[in-house]
A and B are shown apart, each in its own frame.
Chain A
Amino acid sequence: MIRGTVLIAQEVCKGCELCIAVCPQECLGLSEHLNIRGYRYVRLIQETCTGCINCALVCPDSAITVFREPKGAAKKTVVVQSTP
Chain B
Amino acid sequence: MKANSEISLMKGNEALAEAALRAGMQAYFGYPITPQSEILEYLAVHGTKRGAVILQAESELAAINMVYGAAGAGARVMISSSSPGISLMQEGISYMASAEIPFLIVNVQRGGPGLGTIQPSQGDYFQATKGGGHGDYRLIVLAPASVQEMADFVFDGFRLAEKYRVGTMILADGALGQMMEKVVQPPMGSLPLAEKPWATAGKPPSRERNILTSLFIQPEKMEEVNLKLQRKYREIQSEVRYEAIQVEDADIILVAFGLAARISQKALELARHKGIRVGLVRPITLYPFPSAILSQIALSAEAFLVVEMNAGQMLEDVELAVRGEKPVHFKGRMGGMLPSPEEVLREIESIAAVHAANSELIS
A and B touch in the complex (CB under 8 A): no
Chain B residues engaging chain A, CB cutoff 8 angstroms: none
